[in-house]
Structure 1
Amino acid sequence: MTAKKGNLSWLSAFIAFDVAILCAVLAPQLRLIATEPEVVARAASSLLAPPALLLLSSLIPNQVKASLVFWRGKFALPGHRAFSHHAHRDPRIDTAKLNARVSPYPVDELEQNSTWYRIYRAHRDDAAVVDANRRFLLFRDLAVVSILLALLLPLGLWAIGLGLAVTPTLIVFLAQYALSAVAAMQAGVRLVTTVLAIESTADINQKQGG
C-alpha cells in the first residue's frame, strides 16, 4: 500500500468533519428557510462539496500544491534547499559523512532537489521515511482541500442565498488551511532531513547490521 492510499481513510475522516462543520454553520438558516425545498436542496449540494473538492485536488499539479503549502512561488519544496539549508539544521545528520558521500554539495536549487530525490529513492522503504512521507502527503492534501473549501464554498453559499454563513465558513476553512499548511511544512522538512540523516549514517548502519 502506498503512503497516499494509506492516507485516504484519514482524509475521509477530515472530510466528514468538514461536512459536520458545514451542517452546524448552515443549521440556523436552514431552519428559517425549511419551507423552501429548492433552497434546502441547494444547501444540501453545498454539503457534498468537500468530497467533490477532494477529487478536484487530485487534479492539481504537485508543483501548485507545493506552492500552496510552502508559500513559495518557485523552488517551493524543501528538497530545493536540502543541502544549502536543511542539512545543517538537524542534529541527526552527520554533515561530515554526508559531505563525503555527496561531494561537492549541490548548490543550484533544482540540482539539490534532484540529488535529494535520488537519495530518497534509495531509502524510501525505510520505516522512518515511509512515516515522514505519509504525514507530509496527508497534511499537504488536507491543506489543498482546505484552501479550495475556503475559496469556493463561501461563493457557493452566497449564490444560494445563505450569505450569513459566508463569514464563519471562510474563517473556519482559512484557519484549517493555515494549520494544515504549517503541519505540511514541518512534515516536508522532516522528510528531507530524515532521508539525509539515514544517508549520512548508512555505513554505520550497514556495519552494525553485518
Structure 2
Amino acid sequence: MSGKTKTLNQENSLSITAYLIINVLIFVILKLGLPINNTIESMVSKLLTSATWLLILGIFTQIINSQFSSSMKAVLVFWRFKEPLPGYRAFSYFIYRDPRIDPNLLKAKLGNLPSKPMEQNRLWYKLYKKHESKKAVIDAHQKFLLTRDLASSSFLCFIFLGIPGYFFLANTQIWRIYAFILLIMFIIISNAARHCGEKLVGNVLAEESSI
C-alpha cells in the first residue's frame, strides 16, 4: 500500500496535527490556570509566552507518534496483541458479518478459503490491491488511517500530557477530570478506528462478491 497509503496519510496529516495542537493547547491553558474572566488579550499574551514550549512539545509528540509501527497502532486500535488486524479474520468471521457479501460466491471464485490467520490476511490483501481504486474502498481506507493515527495520538496525549499533568497541574481535581477525559477520548477514537478497519475489510470483500 506504499503509494496510495502515503497519499492518504498526507491528506490526513493536517487533521492529526490539529488534534495534537488542540490537546497541547488545552494542557497549556490548564497549566497556566487561565481564569474564565480573563480578557482575550491576557489569554493570548499568556499563551504566546508558552509558544516555544508548545511548539517543542507538539513536534516531540508528532515525532513519537511517527515511531509507532503499523502493527503497534493496530494493537492500540483492535486491542489484540496477536494478529490484531481484521484481515486476519476476513474469511473466518467478517465474511459472514456483512449482508453484502456472498460467502458461497467467494468460495466458488477463490476456491477453499484459508482458515489460518496469516493466510487469510494475505488473501484479503490481494483482493484489496485488486479493488484499492474503488471509491468505497478508498473512503474506508482513508477513514481507517485517520482514526487509527488519531487513536495513537490520543494514546500519546494520555501518556505525555494526562499522566504528567498530576505533577504540573495545580488542581488535583482538574487533573483527574482532564486525565479521565483523555482516557475516554482514546477509547472512543480507538473504537471508531476499529469499526473503520472492519468496514474496510468488509468493503473489499463486498466488492469482490459483486463481480
TM over 0.5: yes
- SS of the equivalent of 2:111 reads coil
Q: 2:152 maps to what in 1?
A: 144
Aligned equivalent of 1:196 = 205
**1:153 and 1:169 in contact (8 A); partners too:** no
What is the rounded CA distance, in whole Å, between the counterparts of 1:155 and 1:127 in structure 2? 41
Residue equivalent to 2:116: 108
Gaps of 5+ in 1: 32-39, 203-210
Counterparts of 2:55 and 2:28 in 1: how far apart (Å)?
7
Percent identical pairs in the alignment equals 33
Shift of 1:52: 2.3
Tell me the equivalent position of 1:205.
Answer: none
Cα distance in 2 for partners of 1:173, 1:49 equals: 17
Q: Residue 176 of structure 1 aligns with which residue?
A: 185
- Residue 50 (structure 1) shift: 4.1
Give a deviation string over 1:70-124, Cα, whole Å, max 9, x none: 0001010000000000011101112221111221011000000011011101111
Q: 1:49 to 1:168 in 2, by over 3 A?
A: farther
Asked if 2 retains the 8 angstrom alpha-carbon contact of 1:46 and 1:156, the reply is no
Question: What SS does structure 2 have at the residue aligned with 1:104?
Answer: coil
Whether 1:61 aligns to 2:66 is: no
Whether the aligned pair in 1 keeps the contact of 2:28 and 2:54 (CA below 8 Å) is no
CA distance in 2, matches of 1:25, 1:171: 14
TM-score, normalisation: structure 2: 0.81
In 1, the alpha carbon distance for the partners of 2:11 and 2:90 equals 26
Cα pair distance change 1:43/1:26, threshold 3 Å: farther
8 Å CA contact retained: 1:43, 1:157: no
Which residue type is aligned with residue 137 of structure 1? Answer: L
Q: 1:186 aligns with which of 173, 179, 195?
A: 195
Q: Secondary structure at the match of 2:33?
A: helix
C-alpha separation in 1, matches of 2:24 and 2:78 = 26
Q: Which runs of 5+ in 2 are unaligned?
A: 37-47
Specify which of 96, 99, 112 is matched with residue 91 of structure 1.
Answer: 99
Q: What are the superposed Cα offsets for residues 153-202 of structure 1, whole Å, 9 maximum, x if unpaired?
A: 23433455746354233212111110110000000000000000001112
CA distance in 1, matches of 2:29, 2:102: 51
Q: Helix, strand or coil for the counterpart of 1:58? A: helix
Give the count of matched residue pairs.
195
CA distance in 2, matches of 1:64, 1:21: 27
Which of 12, 17, 20 pairs up with 1:15?
20
2:39 corresponds to which residue?
Answer: none
Distance in 2 between residues matched to 1:149 and 1:163, nearest whole Å: 19
Whole-angstrom CA distance in 2 between matches of 1:156 and 1:45 = 15
Normalization by structure 1: what TM-score?
0.82
Bigger drift between 4-13 and 86-95 goes to 4-13
CA RMSD of aligned residues (A): 2.7
Structure 2 counterpart SS, 1:180: helix
CA distance in 1, matches of 2:50, 2:87: 44
